[in-house]
Amino acid sequence: MKLFVSPTSPYARKCRALIIEKSLEHKIEVIECDPRSDPAELLDANPLGKVPALTREGAPALMDSPLICEFIDSLDDENWIPKRGASRILVLRQQALADGLIDLTIGRRIEMQREADKQWDYWSERWERGIRRTLDALYADRGQYERSVDLGALSVAVALFYLDLRYPELDWRGDYPELGEFAERWDQRASFEQTRPPAA
């Protein structure tokens, strides 16, 4: 199997970190690519032209990080996503909030990269309000995941570190010190050490 990633994609980082946490590197080869250049092998795997994408022998390729993580989690008996019940829904909810925070951060970055006279204050302010609301929610809910080792907690940590990469002027650690402590615990894990993105 091959997992197509880009070094800075937080969605791909989530999948890569899960592979390392579950010691599945021998089963899944990680292929770095630049999706903006439309490499043929990536487009064959994912017509959307996005990373991550996972090819499988004799089976359709998978795209979208939640689906890929579900599949990765099915490859052994160590469950990072509970199989059923309220705990499963909670982990998936945490992942959804984390992915949404990444979406908002990307939206803000795209807007801020426009030429100054083409930027819309409405959009940049909307993205920033969404980021702040999501951080408030993650802070309020931290008791549900801050000591957990599962896909929900992993996803939240990936999203927080993506803020460092794409919105470094936001002092989220100062405003939410407990989230900073949570993120630093994850940063000490091999899965995060081995998947750190290059500097912006």
pLDDT of residue 200: 62
Q: What total of structural domains would you count in the chain?
A: 2
**Token representation of residue 194:** 């081995």
- Among 20, 53, 73, the domain boundary falls at 73
Question: Do 199 and 159 touch, CB atoms closer than 8 A?
Answer: no
**Where do the H-state alpha helices sit in 46-168?**
65-73, 85-113, 121-140, 151-166
- Whole-angstrom CA distances from 32 to 19, 90, 143, 177, 195 are 15, 31, 35, 34, 12
What is the pTM (predicted TM-score) of this model? 0.96
Question: Do 99 and 11 touch, CB atoms closer than 8 A?
Answer: yes
pLDDT reading at 77 higher than 70:
yes
Q: Are residues 169 and 101 in the same domain?
A: yes
- Among 15, 48, 73, the domain boundary falls at 73
- Residue 26, φ and ψ in degrees, nearest 5: -75, -15
Averaged pLDDT for residues 159-172: 97
CATH number of the domain enclosing 30:
3.40.30.10
CATH number of the domain enclosing 139:
1.20.1050.10
Domain span including residue 14: 2-73
Averaged pLDDT for residues 35-41: 96
Residue 91 within any structural domain of the chain:
yes
Question: How far is 104 from 116, CA to CA, in rounded Å?
Answer: 20
Instruction: Give 84-121 pLDDT, tens digit per residue.
Output: 999 999 999 999 999 999 999 999 999 989 898 888 88
- Whole-angstrom CA distances from 74 to 68, 77, 83 are 10, 7, 10
Q: Are residues 8 and 65 in the same domain?
A: yes
Helix, strand, coil content of the chain in percent (nearest 5): 60, 10, 30
**Alpha carbon distance, N-terminus to C-terminus of the chain:** 29
Question: Do 1 and 55 touch, CB atoms closer than 8 A?
Answer: yes
Residue 198 within any structural domain of the chain:
no
Residue 199 within any structural domain of the chain:
no
Averaged pLDDT for residues 47-51: 97
- 107-111 long-range contacts (CB < 8 A, ≥24 apart) are 108/166, 108/167, 109/166, 109/167
Question: How far is 12 from 3, CA to CA, in rounded Å?
Answer: 9
Q: Are residues 106 and 35 in the same domain?
A: no
Q: Are residues 125 and 184 in the same domain?
A: yes
pLDDT of residue 119: 83
**Residue type (1 letter), 109:** R
Question: How far is 188 from 70, CA to CA, in rounded Å?
Answer: 24
